[in-house]
């Protein structure tokens, strides 16, 4: 029983340290700040979404080549940003996405 508890603790510690050290993602901004409500990231079969808050967003994603879809609020148009390369353990800056009106 004691050995199982120790083994379980070790597994949890290893998983937590892997997740913390291996975090990668995409961050950026939308202008005007209130012109969009949600951002989606796509890579192959993976999809991640986040709300845009005060014109900024952060998405935790796996390393790879990602596309962003910015869901705009009318009268602004949705936007797509392609070929965002994310590396292991790093956040890629997507920059400021300037949305235009319809």
How do residues 27-39 score in pLDDT, each as one tens digit? 999 999 999 999 9
- Residue 30, token pair as written in the block: 């939308």
* CA angle in degrees (0–180, nearest 5) for 29-27-44: 120
CATH of segment(s) 24-98: 2.60.40.1120
Pick the residue with more confidence: 50 or 10? 50
Q: Tell me the per-residue pLDDT of 23-75, one tens digit each, with 9 for 90 and over.
A: 899 999 999 999 999 999 999 999 999 999 999 999 999 999 999 999 999 99
Q: pLDDT tens digits for 82-98? A: 999 999 999 999 999 99
Residue 90 to residues 57, 81, 82, 101: CA-CA distances in angstroms?
A: 15, 19, 18, 33
- Sequence spans of domains, the chain: 24-98
């Amino acid at each position: 029983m004691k050995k199982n508890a120790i083994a379980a603790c070790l597994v949890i510690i290893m998983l937590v340290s892997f997740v913390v050290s291996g975090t990668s993602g995409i961050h950026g901004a939308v202008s005007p700040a209130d012109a969009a409500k949600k951002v989606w990231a796509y890579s192959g079969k993976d999809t991640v979404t986040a709300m845009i808050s005060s014109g900024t967003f952060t998405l935790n994603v796996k390393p790879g080549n990602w596309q962003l879809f910015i869901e705009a609020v009318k009268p602004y148009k949705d936007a797509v940003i392609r070929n965002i390369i994310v590396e292991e353990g790093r956040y890629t800056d997507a920059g400021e996405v300037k949305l235009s009106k319809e």
